[in-house]
């Protein structure tokens, strides 16, 4: 393991424009269960109940969605960044970070101190809510207060439209502007680090592929194997927090800042 981490530190040291791609494995180290893992959300709920078209067409589906979403949000709201999030912030401090493209909706990169303009949340964020009709935005906690007071399904104050957290549901279109931005950074980076992602969810997993196809070296740090391991210059099957934290410590001890 030490030799792999030293090799990874050398690749990061040589890089000028690092694109970090993060998945649910990063958040589990902060106590947020992966949707798909044992004990995760899909152990308690049926994913087919939460497709976007059902949310739009069925009041009962919306009620069930808010029940699930509120339960998950409470866990996320209290979660704190772990060593991996802090290490990514330290990459920015070193001037090496091009951007963070994250599949996570938990705002932990913001809590860790990364610049908001460097964070691309391709699956959205759970911390705000929008009206699907007029676009009015609400702070998530304001909507949670309404739900706590007994409201089952919240609606827009201005137009009566359907409210939904600013996250991407099954069957909902990905945010085009964010995806275009992510692919642009994938073309520009010279190193892509995929952290805590199974790399099986598309189109998100296309981003590290695009980086690799554009000439960037790829480092994958994940507890389990991924379908993109053969593309990587380096694969580290280990905790993202421990691995990336050690890599940053190696860079600092060698005088890279």
Q: Choose one of 104, 136, 167: the last residue of a domain.
A: 167
Do 17 and 92 reside in the same domain of the chain?
yes
Q: Which CB contacts under 8 angstroms, 24+ apart, belong to 181-186?
A: 181/99, 181/120, 182/99, 182/101, 182/120, 182/122, 182/207, 183/207, 183/210, 185/19, 185/98, 185/99, 185/101, 185/120, 186/19, 186/101, 186/210, 186/211, 186/214, 186/216
- Domain boundary pick from 150, 167, 184: 167
Same domain, 67 and 39: yes
Together in a domain, 226 and 103: yes
- Listed in sequence order, the DSSP H helices in 79-205 are 83-93, 108-112, 140-148, 176-188
* Residue 63, helix vs strand vs coil: helix
Q: In the structure, what pLDDT confidence band is assigned to residue 36 with cuts at 50, 70 and 90?
A: low
Residues 210, 237, single domain; the answer is: yes
Provide CB contacts within 8 A for 209, sequence distance 6+. Answer: 228, 231
In angstroms, the first-to-last Cα distance of the chain is 24
| Same domain for 59 and 177 | no
Catalytic residues: 123
Reported confidence tier of residue 48, pLDDT bands at 50, 70, 90 = confident
Mean pLDDT, the chain, whole residue set? 93
Residues 69 and 150 in one domain: yes
Average pLDDT over residues 156-181: 95
pTM score of the predicted model: 0.92
**Can you give the pLDDT at residue 33?**
80
Q: Tell me which of 39 and 167 has the higher pLDDT.
A: 167
Q: Structural domain tally of the chain?
A: 2
Please indicate, yes or no, whether residues 224 and 137 belong to a single structural domain of this protein: no
Q: Are residues 107 and 133 in the same domain?
A: no
Give the mean pLDDT of 226-234.
Answer: 97
pLDDT value, residue 75:
87
CB 228 within 8 A of CB 242: no
The b/e string for 51-63 (b: 16+ C-beta within 10 A; e otherwise) is bbebbeeeeebbe
What is the per-residue pLDDT for 122? Answer: 97
Residue 1 has pLDDT above 90, yes or no: no
Residues 108 and 187 in one domain: yes
Q: Which two tokens stand for residue 239?
A: 């905790």
Residues 117 and 182 in one domain: yes
Which CATH number characterizes residue 238's domain?
3.40.50.1220
Cα–Cα distance, 190 to 211 (Å, whole number): 8
Q: Which domain holds residue 66?
A: 35-78+126-167
User: Up-side HSE of residue 84: CA atoms within 13 Å toward CB?
Assistant: 26
Is 148's pLDDT higher than 80? yes
- The predicted model gives 141-159 an average pLDDT of 96
For residues 100-124, average pLDDT: 97
Question: 180 with 207: CB under 8 angstroms?
Answer: no
Report the DSSP pairing between strands 217-221 and 124-131.
Answer: unpaired
Ranges 32-36, 131-135, 140-144: which has the least confidence: 32-36
Same-domain pairing of 179 and 66 = no
Residue 178 has pLDDT above 70, yes or no: yes
Give mean pLDDT, residues 186-203.
Answer: 95
pLDDT computed for residue 49 by the predictor:
78
Closest CA relative to residue 51, chosen from 203, 166, 171: 171
Whole-angstrom distance, CA of residue 227 vs CA of residue 237: 13
Give yes or no: residues 13 and 72 share one domain.
no
């Amino acid at each position: 393991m030490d030799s792999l981490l030293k090799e990874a530190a050398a690749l990061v040291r040589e890089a000028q424009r690092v694109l970090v791609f993060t998945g649910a494995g990063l958040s589990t180290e902060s106590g947020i269960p992966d949707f798909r893992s044992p004990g995760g959300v899909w152990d308690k709920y049926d994913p087919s109940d939460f497709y976007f078209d059902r949310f739009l067409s069925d009041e009962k589906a919306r009620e069930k969605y808010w029940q699930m979403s509120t339960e998950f949000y409470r866990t996320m709201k209290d979660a704190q960044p772990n060593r991996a999030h802090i290490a990514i912030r330290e990459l920015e401090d070193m001037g090496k970070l091009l951007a963070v493209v994250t599949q996570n909706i938990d705002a932990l990169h913001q809590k860790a101190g990364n610049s908001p303009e460097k964070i691309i949340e391709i699956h959205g964020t759970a911390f705000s809510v929008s009206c699907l009709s007029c676009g009015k935005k609400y702070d998530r906690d304001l909507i949670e207060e309404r739900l706590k007071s007994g409201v089952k399904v919240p609606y827009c104050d201005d137009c009566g439209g359907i409210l939904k957290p600013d996250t991407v549901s099954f069957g909902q279109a990905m945010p085009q502007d964010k995806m275009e931005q992510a692919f642009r950074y994938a073309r520009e980076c010279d190193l892509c680090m995929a952290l805590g992602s199974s790399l099986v969810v598309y189109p998100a997993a296309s981003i590290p592929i695009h980086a690799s196809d554009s000439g960037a070296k790829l480092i994958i740090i994940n507890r389990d194997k991924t379908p993109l391991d053969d593309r990587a210059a380096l694969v580290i099957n280990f905790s993202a927090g421990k691995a990336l934290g050690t890599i940053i410590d190696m860079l600092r001890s060698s005088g890279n800042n």
